[in-house]
Structure 1
Amino acid sequence: MTIPINQSTAANAKSAAIRLAQLKQQLNLTPSSMSQQAPKDMAAERASADFDIEALAHHWHGGREQYVLMQKAFALIKSDPELVVQPPRNFVELTKDESREFTMGQIHRFVKLLQDPVIRSQGPEFAEALFQALVNYSESFSMRIGVHRALFRNVLLMLGSDEQRDEWLDDVDNYRIFGCFAMTELGHSSALRDIETTATYDINTDEFIINSPTITATKWWIGMAGKTATHTMVIAQTYIDGKHMGHNWFIVQLRDRSTGELMPNVIAGDIGHKVGRSGLDNGWIQFHHTRIPRTQMLNRWVDLDRQGNYTPAPSPVVMYATLIPERVMLVLNSMLMVSHAVAIATRYGVVRRQGSHNEQIMDYLSHYGKFAPAVSFVYMVRSATSTLDEQFKILTAGGNMDPEVYMYHMGDMHAISACLKGLTGWYGSDVLETCRRACGGHAYSAYNNIGQIIDDWGVLTTGGGDNVVLLQQTAKILLHLLTQKLEHDQYPQLKFKSSTHYFIRAKEYLAVPQWHVTDVSMCLDNLSLIEEALFTILVKRLNSIREDLKAGTTHNDLLLDSVRAAEMHAAAFLYSDAVGKYDKADLSADPGVAKIMRRMTALWGLHTLHTYSDQGFKEGFLTPQQVKQIEKVYLMATKNLRKQLIGLTDAWGYPDFVLKAPIAKYDGDIYEPYFETLLMSKNSIGVPSYHGKYIKPLTDAE
């Protein structure tokens, strides 16, 4: 497909190229030994991989066909000025308003491409690849369109009746309306029990009246509500005939689809400047006795007839199930952002040399000892989220949920999605800080993208629920299931393998006084040794918390213990899921891929056992000598993977324009491109506009 290039953009690019060439003539750009060595180092790193990098890339993307489609999608968007910021403009120099406009322009262009006959002829798989390519390029695009696709749409699918889906879904899928997700409030964030927005049924007019009774009832941080969304899903306290009926979801129109003006009795605005994701128009909404038809209360699980007879949901928790896909989306987004930062820092780490023997800085334990588990973490999360996707399909059955199956499985899905979101948020924060420090002063430059990723990251530690609260919720479910097993020998029989499957052997684990492994290196040959150790520690720790609660200790006094156990449960789930896939797997008949994925799995298991060894020590399950051995074997495993890191990060398939970091150029030739990036920046050289006003009066003074 030929993409028309905006003429002014092309002219600007040509002018910038001429200016850059002129500047380079004035500068001393003679290659140094360091700049000449960098590409050689990168090539040597790539050649040292023990596996076929392209074969691993196929596995990462879900198969060769998907990999080829992604590369084709990247090639398509790379030179499109409406999708990717083109020189001389730079992504990091866009103002808030420019970012808002550019991101909406990306969505407009994406939708138009989906409607293009040439794109349509290539099938839905290529359309999805285009979407994923843009998600990789822009966090603002990812979240702005994700609010519509993953939140607004999912609420409709999960909670809307067949009639409501028939009425709304076509407009949603074809972007004739843009939806947002009005859950959080100024005074209550995600504490849904306390939200103040009300929906009162008026039987005389057959309408609901949506109202924001106080300032703290204002819907807050609502993505796309600032300027874009035409409609929103609103969760509100419901009142019928003067009686409180709990929470329900409602479709409310915010803006006229043609003019963009706010609807009567709706006031909404933009949150303004944020730390990151400046292309997303987060907003606030107030409803002033806004009237909507009764039919716009989502009624797959509840019902209200014309006479005001209300049938409640089988359980109030179904109203919160929409948060499960949101959390899985946030986990995937976390993995994506971490992988970008790790790819940047890893590439820089093998071309930057420093030390008494001019070592590659990646050869220091402070580098490879941190980056090897970070790379493993990315692979584990990628693998585990595919498992959660399959489990979620069982839960929702494509929107045709069996109420009994749905109710029976939702608690388990909530538990693992909540704690996995907590783990990825916290460990991901550590990894990003590691990446920043590992790139030295160059990470402080916005042009190398690490800082931008860290700014954009903030929403992932609180969006979808505060990590402490989510981990508390998981711990509560874990304690309940463990009690049911220990005291009543009951354990739910699910249609998928639960993350808590190890509770089936809880009594057996409690009876084990100490880990029997005396040589921890044996764990590299037998991955189940680590798995059994993690499960035993978890059962013992959770049981200790349970016993303390029974003895009268408060939940608040055990808060940190509970959160730590839930976090460990998530890490153990990542490991156990990977063991099931990679311990003895034959991946696409490629032994190199199978071997490296098993090594990634083993490293994550050792990382988890090392990180949470304090939990085992508290229970007397691990001795000081075993803890020392675990650390020794773990660090040796990171060292053995040192030369595989470039190949492992290459397999993610991120083009240079997606990473947006000159110090992470694929070929390792980083210094001249870095310099060129700065030279193309507006006003990088020359007399500043304020010289005559502020500098000259001082320097000319006698």
Structure 2
Amino acid sequence: MSTAARWCVGSLAQERSNCRFNKEEITNFFDGGADKTEARRQLEEIVLSDPAFEDPIPPEYLSHEQMYENELRKSIHLLHIFNTDERLAKIAPNGIKGMMYFYDRGLSTAIHKDGNPMSIHFAMFLPAIMGQGNPEQQKEWLDLATAGSIIGTYAQTELGHGTYLRGLETTATYDPVTEEFVINSPTITATKWWPGGLGKTSSYTVVVALLYTEGRCHGPHLFMVQVRDTNTHQSLPGVTLGDIGPRFGFKSNDNGFLRFNQFRIPRGNMFMKHAQVLKDGTYVKPLSSKLSYGSMTYVRVGICFGSTRGLMVAVTIATRYAAVRHQSELVADDPEVKIMEYQTQQFKILPQIATVFAQWFAAHAVRQTYATVQDEIDQGNLNLLPELHAVSCGLKALSSSDSLRGIDILRLGCGGHGFSDSTNLPRIYCTTAAACTYEGENTVLWLQVARYLIKCFRESQRGGRLQKSVSYLEYKQIPAKHDLSNQGLLSAFKCSLQLLVLRAAEQLQRRCDKGEPYEVARNHCSQNLVNCAQLHMRHYVCDQFVPAVEEFKCTEPVRDVLQRLCRLYLINTVISNHGFFIR
């Protein structure tokens, strides 16, 4: 080991020796328990010791085609061992659940450095089958997809429309004579654009298209569509597709485009867990139109964890760098000190550590809400669906944007070295940047949250009951002062939010009273509405963080650290948004 290496190792060892709590408890927390930590470590040992996952040449020195082929090779091998390796079956459920466990915990980034051509197959294609397919459809497609006999993607975004689902132009028109749907791309802007794995890899795709039966449009619905021949891998007649070219990040992926020319699929290829089209063309409505968006909600929850993992890795890199990097002297003629000793460096690092824990606790809360809602949907109860939609939209927007901002702060905190690919920070930044756009552009998601807040405000004015996350709208008396305890800060949050939402609702109503159409008035108030949504979600995260730390089962030294981080997050959030708290 070189002198420089020994120096770095010694500096890290010195910092680690100062730790006053059991690090394994924190590790278990992020893994979901001691048993999950053990399973992850065994999984890593098997996968990372497999020479098939090694890169003969560092990916950054490869062409796009070489990068794609290399990552596809590893993806196929990963799929193979999860379906055949008995050791993996003992660690995690075999097949689909084992693979989804692997991807859900971000372990794939250890072998896929800059994207994975089959990521959408696991992240969206399989969840769509599981969440939107009826039992017969799951029986038909799930085993094939699990074994890799069919590889799929998810085609929703179009060249002309993304987040605005009602604006999608791809059509699926039912023909009762042949009992088929005719899929068509009527305009150039109807071209499906961006689906990962579509350019070269996938033979199937879940297509989101406007459903037409008996001359009526029933809005966006999901369809299973084969787009390539499973023997030749050539596109089928009536299908035009290809790769869209280089991107800001995910450079190993094959994001693609897709067009249909009067392409026919069987009636049974429409996902029919919630809505149905009968043989004669009769449309059977779902209990709620939002039920078809379940797969998107699931993915948004995953994005919350994924974005936070990106920040977690970045803050680990930056903290280790700050522990080994010596720069300048604090006192003349003294040795140069670790940059971790500088308060300015601590201001860059410590709030990001607190943000990781805050977002992680909040993401778990949303995931639990998702599971609860799924159980209630099965019983015909849709009461929590609007709440789930709002918090999943809001936390996706908050976690991706705050993580991106934090990663860049940390990158800058590593000086010139942070600009080097060798730190992995540029790749982490690019990957997280994409999360601010896919599965709902963040500004649009903020407006979705704001729509929910205005609706809840009006419900509170009528004396209706509200869900816990918006219960602050029911405050009758606003305290004049708040102390600086955690509960005092949460109380200040609630009062500030109530006033902010009240003013936005009044502004909106005044414009409507003057004759402006509601959507026009809403656009004129949109920045204030976004402010409401952002502060609402920051309150939501804080409101989850405080009780979660108190209820978390851990030793007192760990609790002390979590309480300090919680306190830091609350105070930093209030200071960063102080304009909303001063009146």
Change (3 A) 1:435 1:68: same
| Map of 1:422 onto structure 2 | 397
Q: Match for 1:79 among 20, 45, 49?
A: 49
Which letter does structure 1 place at the counterpart of 2:459? Answer: Q
Deviations 1:56-78 (A, max 9, x none): 21222122221122222222232
Residue in 1 aligned with 2:73?
105
Instruction: State the secondary structure of the residue aligned to 1:180.
Output: strand
1:559: Cα distance to partner?
Answer: 1.8
* TM alignment of 1:175-190, pairs within 5 A: 175-190=148-163
Mean Cα displacement is larger for which, 35-44 or 351-360? 35-44
Match of 2:333 in 1: none
Candidates 301, 305, 309, aligned match of 1:336: 309
- Gap runs ≥5 in structure 2: 331-335, 513-520
Distance 1:240 1:30 in 2: 72
2:453 to 478, 481, 487: 478
CA distance in 1, matches of 2:556, 2:7: 33
1:460 aligns with 2:435: yes
Change (3 A) 1:457 1:516: closer
- Give the equivalent residue in structure 2 for 1:559: 526
Which amino acid is 1:502 matched to? Y
The alpha-carbon deviation at position 115 of structure 1 amounts to 2.4
Larger Rg: 1
Distance in structure 1 (CA, Å) of the matches to 2:434 and 2:166: 22
Over 3 Å counting, the alpha-carbon distance change for 1:140 and 1:166 in structure 2 is farther
Provide TM-score, normalisation by structure 1: 0.77
Secondary structure at 2:257 match in 1: strand
Provide the rounded CA distance (Å) in 1 between the counterparts of 2:304 and 2:482: 35
Deviations 1:526-556 (A, max 9, x none): x222221212211111111111112227322
Name whichever of 50-59 and 471-480 sits farther off: 50-59
Judge conservation of contact 2:133–2:271 (CA < 8 Å) in 1. Answer: yes
The 3 A distance-change label for structure 1 pair 513 and 66 is: closer
Aligned to 1:606: 571
Deviates more, 1:40-49 or 1:214-223: 40-49
Q: Distance in 1 between matches of 2:92 and 2:43?
A: 13
- Which of 437, 450, 469 in structure 2 is aligned with 1:499? 469
CA distance in 2, matches of 1:362, 1:76: 36
Deviation, structure 1 residue 92: 2.5
Question: Aligned letter for 1:601?
Answer: C
Does the CA contact (< 8 Å) of 1:270 and 1:282 recur in 2? yes
Matches of 1:73 and 1:417, distance apart in 2:
30
Aligned to 1:641: none
Instruction: Quote the offset at 1:143 in angstroms.
Output: 5.9
Could you say which residue in structure 2 is the equivalent of 1:656?
A: none
Structure-2 residue corresponding to 1:574:
541
Structure 1 unmatched ranges of 5 or more = 1-28, 621-702
Report if the CA contact (8 A) 2:223-2:269 is conserved: yes
The answer to whether residue 413 in structure 2 is matched with residue 438 in structure 1 is: yes
- Measured after TM superposition, the shift of residue 260 of structure 1 is 1.4
- Residues 306 and 55 from structure 1, CA distance in 2 versus in 1: closer, same or farther, beyond 3 angstroms? closer
Query: Equivalent residue for 2:368?
Result: 390
Cα displacement (A) at 1:403: 6.3
Which residue of 11, 19, 23 maps to 1:53? 23
Matched residue type, 2:10: K
Q: Is the partner of 1:491 in helix, strand or coil?
A: coil
Residue 219 (structure 1) shift:
0.2
- Paired residue type of 1:111: L
Q: Give the Å deviation of 1:222.
A: 0.7
Q: CA deviation at 1:586?
A: 5.5
* Aligned counterpart, 1:596: 561
Q: What residue number does 1:374 align with? A: 352
SS of residue in 2 equivalent to 1:344: helix
Choose from 147, 150, 165 the match for 1:174.
147
Match of 1:264 among 237, 251, 254: 237
Aligned residue in 1 for 2:296: 323
Q: Quick check: 1:139–1:277 contact (8 Å CA) kept in 2?
A: no
2:318 to 341, 345, 348: 345
SS class of match (1:41): helix
Give the conservation status (yes or no) of the 8 Å contact 2:496–2:581. Answer: yes
TM-fit CA distance, 1:464: 0.8
Aligned equivalents of 2:118, 2:463: Cα separation in 1: 46
Residue type of the alignment partner of 2:90? Q
Whether 1:615 and 2:580 are equivalent positions in the alignment is yes
1:107·1:141 contact (CA, 8 Å) conserved in 2?
no
SS at the partner of 2:21?
coil
Relative to structure 1, is the Cα distance of residues 345 and 303 closer, same or farther in structure 2, using a 3 angstrom cutoff?
same
Q: Aligned pair in 2 of structure 1 residues 134, 85: CA closer, same or farther (>3 Å)? A: farther
Change (3 A) 1:228 1:539: same
SS at match of 2:154: strand
Among candidates 520, 524, 532, match of residue 491 of structure 2: 532
What per-residue deviation string (whole Å, max 9, x for no partner) do you get for residues 205-262 of structure 1? 1111100111110000011111111111111112223222222211110112232121
- Note if contact 1:276-1:457 (Cα within 8 Å) is conserved in structure 2: no
Q: Match of 2:231, SS?
A: coil
Match of 1:402 in 2: 378
The 8 Å contact of residues 132 and 294 in structure 2, kept in 1 or not, is answered as no
1:121–1:205 CA distance, 2 compared to 1 (3 A): closer
Given the two structures, how large is their TM-score scaled by the length of structure 2? 0.92
Letter of the 1:540 counterpart: L
Q: How far apart are 1:402 and its partner, in Å?
A: 2.5
Counterpart residue number, 2:503? 544
Q: CA deviation at 1:408?
A: 2.0
C-alpha contact 1:92 1:447 (8 A) present in aligned 2: no
| Deviation string, structure 1 residues 436-494 (Cα, Å, up to 9, x no partner) | 21111112221221112222222111011111110011011011112211x2111246x
Task: Please say which of residues 130-139 and 345-354 is displaced more in the overlay.
Answer: 130-139
Q: CA contact under 8 A between 1:77 and 1:84: conserved in structure 2?
A: no
93-102 or 311-320: which moved more?
311-320
Contact 1:198/1:210, CA 8 A, preserved across alignment: yes
1:158 matched to 2:131: yes
Paired residues, number: 565
Distance verdict in 2 for CA 1:133–1:307, change over 3 Å: closer
Distance 2:219 2:120 in 1: 25
In the TM superposition, residue 271 of structure 1 has moved relative to its aligned partner by 1.3
Take 1:288 and 1:180, find their aligned partners in 2: how far apart are those partners?
19
Residue in structure 1 matched with residue 481 of structure 2 by the alignment: 515
8 Å Cα contact 2:115-2:252 kept in structure 1: no
Q: Determine which of 87, 92, 96 is the counterpart of 2:64.
A: 96
Q: Aligned residues: percent identity?
A: 27
Tell whether the 8 Å contact from 2:83 to 2:147 is kept in structure 1 after alignment: no
Question: C-alpha distance in 2, partners of 1:102/1:143?
Answer: 10
* Aligned residues of 2:133 and 2:273 also touching (Cα < 8 A): yes
CA distance in 2, matches of 1:545, 1:338: 32
CA contact (8 A) 2:153 2:204 kept: yes
The residue matched to 2:159 in structure 1 has which SS? coil
The alpha carbon displacement at 1:303 in A equals 1.9
Give the match's secondary structure for 1:82: helix
Query: CA separation in 2, counterparts of 1:119 and 1:460?
Result: 34
Structure-2 change in CA distance of 1:114 and 1:419 (3 Å): same
1:14-62 deviation digits (Å, cap 9, x = unpaired):
xxxxxxxxxxxxxxx9746xx6543332112111122111222122212
Amino acid at match of 1:557: H
Conservation of the 8 A alpha-carbon contact between 2:301 and 2:392: yes
Q: Residues 590-646 of structure 1, C-alpha deviation per residue, up to 9 Å, x if partnerless? A: 2222221222222211122112221111xx1xxxxxxxxxxxxxxxxxxxxxxxxxx
Instruction: Check conservation: 2:348, 2:410, Cα contact below 8 A.
Output: no
CA apart distance, 1:194:
1.0
